[in-house]
Every structure is written in structure tokens, then in C-alpha cells.
Amino acid sequence: MFLLPRPRRELASVLAPTTRRAPLREMAPPRGRRRDQPRASGERRSAATMRRECRYNSQRVFALLGALGVQSATSVTSLFLAKRVMGGAQSADGSSSSFSAVWAELPDAAKDEIAALAGKDSTALLKPHPKAPPAAPPVPLGTKASLDHTAATAALTLVPRLQRKHYETIPKTLTEAAFWEAFFSHATVIVTRHAKALLVAQGEGDAWRCAAPDDSFTPAWEAADEAARAKLAALAAAESEALLTAAMKAPPPFPAVPLGTTVAISERAAVAALTLVPGLQKRQYALVPRRLDEKAFWVNFFSHATCLLAPKK
């Protein structure tokens, strides 16, 4: 058997240095370094690596600020200043006397009267009780009266057959707001007759402020003329003592309302005032808490703002 001779390699290929083939593990791209893994002192970080390791980028920051309603750097400063002087704690949304606590202390006779409102043949909830305080009383700028959804949920759970009455009435006969206005007005009259001491005044404790998205101050400021704006800004001057007291002609900041209704100062309105009124931030810093507490400062300011900016009726 004859074998063909092996082909000779060229001289250049014989003398060329051989290259070792790297294993697959070494050819794979490097993994990302853990945050707790130390970095070599001479190793440089690329821009992509720094962007990847950064938790907050510009898009996420501005998305967060947009959700909070902050539109400018001045608003950002006002927001953090407001949070600092307002205690840094989350605002309390809800009545100072919750419906659950009132229901637990009511005598059985009062509970039976409230439960009778949801009877199958009862028509009491078709309109509010005429002797109950109004659910939407006049309030100063920056203050909001609203339904306490926590109290409404508790009432549906605690009052017998109220859930069924709610289902039968809405939206066939009444709107959601009209139903709760009627129910809580009748409940307030019954509680007042049997256990008036259970009704706690509005504005007590941390319930004087709320994180509602409503801001009644900004539209009033934008609609006011320059003279009215100048008068309000003059109240924030360093030599002015006007913010130490409330305006006498303004409506009461925390009027009497039915059960299930809260009256509170809107934090968003306060932030808007700090942003729009010249010198108000500095004046707030000078007065709170040296001469006024936070609640008294905003009650006084919004009472003067109501007299100067609110349209006369």
C-alpha cells in the first residue's frame, strides 16, 4: 500500500509563533462587580458603569418631582422647607374622632337608631338632616373640607344593612357624595342627642393638616391683581407683625362639620404659598417655632390671604 507524502509547510508558517486558544471562561465578557467588592486602585470606571450603579437618574428624579407637582427648583426648595418645618412626618388624613371609635362608645339605643337609617323601607337617607352642620362649610384659602373615606369604610362594616342600602341607592337614586352626606348628617344628630362628648372638634392633634392634592391658593394668587399680591407680600416683611394673629373677617379655619367629614389645611397649598409669596419662607423660618407653632402660622396666613385674594361675594 502506497501512502501519499504529507504536504510540506511553508517556512514562514513553521517559524511563526503559535497562539494559545483562550478557554471559554476567559473569552466571556466580565460580570458586573458587586457593590461590596473592592475596586482596584488604578482601575478606571466608565461612564456606563457609573450610570448603571447610580440608583437615581435624571428621568427618575424628575418623574418623582412631577408626581409631587413640583415644577421648578424653587418649588423643590419650598417642598423640602415645608417638610422640615411641618415636622418631617407624614400628614394625618382622617378625622380626629374616627367613626369606629365613636361607634364603639355609643349606647345600644343610638346604634339602633343609626341602623334604622339603612332599613329597607327607610327614606331618611334621601336628604341630609336639616339640623346637622353643613358638610361643605365656608373655609379659608388653603383649607379643605372633604369626606373621610376611612370613616365611610368603617360605617359600611359596622352599621347593619348599610352596605345593602348603599348598593340599592347608588347610583339609582343618589350619588356617592350625596349618600354619605345624608348618612353622616343623620348619624351626627343621633350621636349629639345620645353622646355629644364623643364628637371631637376639628383641627386637633396632627389632623389639622392633610396631604390632599387640592391647592386653592395658587388659583387665587394668579387671579389677584398686583395690588392685592403686594399687600399679602407685605405681611411677610421682617418688620411686620400681622402674621402673629388671624384676620377677624376670615371664616373659621376649622368649623363644625358632621361625622365622617374632615377639615384640614392642605400641605400642597402651603408649599405653593412658600413658593409664590416673596419673603414668606424667610418669615416662616423667623416665626416658627420661636413665636408661633406651625398650625397657628398657617391659620393666620391663610386667613389674611382669604381676605386679600378671595373674590368678594
Helix axes 267-276, 73-85, angle to 10 degrees: 130
Cα–Cα dist 82/88, whole Å: 8
Burial string for 52-88 (b: 16+ CB within 10 Å, else e) reads: eeeeeeeeeeeeebeeeebeeeebeebbebbeebbee
Look up residue 20 and give its three cell numbers.
494559545
Cα–Cα dist 123/119, whole Å: 8
- The reported pTM is 0.69
Tell me what pLDDT residue 207 has.
Answer: 84
| pLDDT > 70? residue 82 | no
One of 3.40.1360, 1.10.3970, 1.10.3210, 1.25.10 is the CATH number of 99-138+148-198, namely 1.10.3970
DSSP state of 45: -
Look up residue 233 and give its three cell numbers.
407680600
Cα–Cα dist 206/214, whole Å: 18
253-305 per-position pLDDT tens digit: 999 999 999 999 999 999 999 999 999 999 999 999 999 999 999 999 999 99
Least confident of 55-69, 170-184, 206-220, 245-259: 55-69
| pLDDT > 50? residue 2 | no
129 and 181 in contact (C-beta within 8 Å)?
Answer: no
Look up residue 312 and give its three cell numbers.
368678594
Residue ranges, comma separated, of all CATH 1.10.3970 domains in the chain are 99-138+148-198
Tell me what pLDDT residue 75 has.
Answer: 44
Sequence letter at residue 5: P
Closest to 267 (Cα-Cα) out of 96, 89, 148, 134? 89
Residues 6+ apart with CB under 8 A from 262: 93, 94, 95, 145, 146, 147, 148, 202, 207, 210
